[in-house]
Amino acid sequence: MDGFEMSDRLCTSSLVLAACALMIAYGIENLWGWVLLLAGLGIVGGIGSRRMRTSFSVWWLLLFVTAAAYGMIIGLPVLPLVVAVLASLGYWDLDAFDQRLSKVDPSDARRSLEKSHIRRLILALSLGLAVSLVVASIRIDLDLIWAILLGLVIVISLRLGIAALQHQNKPLL
């Protein structure tokens, strides 16, 4: 299996995992209408062509994250919702990476770049899962101002981290 096939399969698998995790969360509470809707979205996305995925990857991400957020609001189990959000992010990231990678000539450097990206993505998603589960198990009451400040620190930290990664990868793409 060459690298391009690997990221393509992981991309599709991420979308299907997100749909299944949401179906489990909604199914636990017997919300069968939602389960059928999510199953349909998962099937359409899972069997969709690469061209369709590329056109709609942001929309799939928004749909699944919105379904997970709604699930949190109505009190669905946290674990499948977190898995769904992380799998949706993985899908979106791999799809965007596939778009950029398709512009690069096939070579060993391309395969190496793809494998490196997939390793970093798996590490980031695993860390996201671990942090999310720890945070979900801890209950801290914050005043609004502290919550806003914490949110700003997180946003600034993420922006700096993304900028550092973009700077690191700039010569390769």
141-168 pLDDT, tens per residue? 777 788 788 778 877 877 777 777 666 6
Mean pLDDT score of the chain, rounded to an integer?
A: 79
Q: For residues 34 and 32, what is the distance between their CA atoms, to the nearest angstrom? A: 5
Q: Given this model, what pLDDT does residue 24 score?
A: 93
When pLDDT is cut at 50, 70 and 90, the band that residue 3 belongs to is very low
What stretches of 29-107 show up as alpha helix (H) in DSSP? 32-47, 50-73, 78-101
The arithmetic mean of pLDDT across residues 22-39, rounded, is 90
Q: Which helix (H) or strand (E) holds 18?
A: helix 3-28
Q: Average pLDDT of 78-84?
A: 91
| First-residue to last-residue Cα distance in the chain | 22
HSE-up (13 A, CA, CB side) for residue 83: 17
Listed by start position, the domains of the chain span: 3-139, 143-173
What are the DSSP calls for 143-168, one per residue? Answer: -HHHHHHHHHHHHHHHHHHHHHHHHH
What is the C-alpha separation between 37 and 54, in angstroms, rounded?
A: 21
